[in-house]
Amino acid sequence: MTSHAIRILGIDPGLRRTGWGVIDVDGNRLIYVGCGSVESSEAAPLAERLLAIHEGLARVLGEFNPLEAAVEQTFVNKDGASTLKLGQARGVAMLAPAKFGIVVAEYAPNQVKKTVVGAGHADKNQIRVMLGVLLPKAAPKTPDAADALAIAITHAHHRQSAILKLKVAAAR
């Protein structure tokens, strides 16, 4: 990694499994660093599950020391209770990097798909195929880890505009 490389953490929030993916960006080069998922027990109370997500992401943040982070925005589904729980997991996924002093960018699922595959309605298999092209050394074991890498790639491609938006919002 050269001194100009930026390390990015992508997070795909989920209550059962939160995916994470770390890449380095050096100019236009994308370099795979690591990926995995943080799991919580479905039998555990909600607060314990959220704590498990936070602690797992804190370990990832401590190990990989990213400079920037990105999280997928929540999509609203028909089940309101599920959407609320996913929103809570997403809140923890945004809190963890913020506690490390890292600004967190947000990307819509369709924007992630469009950036990585070229189509906003791509399926998970198409994302995996493109990950193999863009990050040949990556071998995510779960769809959540693959999605997290796709979120990191999206941030790598859109980071300058995302950083500018955050600066403008902070100045208000």
Q: How far apart are CA 118 and CA 107, in angstroms?
A: 15
Catalytic site includes residue 68: no
Q: What six digits make up the tokens of 146? A: 């693959």
Q: How far apart are CA 5 and CA 9, in angstroms?
A: 13
Tell me the three-class secondary structure of the chain, residue by residue: CCCCCEEEEEEECCCCEEEEEEEEEECCEEEEEEEEEEECCCCCCHHHHHHHHHHHHHHHHHHHCCCEEEEECCCCCCCHHHHHHHHHHHHHHHHHHHHCCCCEEEECHHHHHHHHCCCCCCCHHHHHHHHHHHCCCCCCCCHHHHHHHHHHHHHHHHHHHHHHHHHHHHHC
- Out of 39, 63, 106, 144, which one is annotated catalytic? 144
Catalytic site includes residue 147: no
- Out of 12, 24, 68, 147, which one is annotated catalytic? 12
- Out of 42, 72, 79, 123, which one is annotated catalytic? 72
Q: Which residues are catalytic?
A: 12, 72, 144
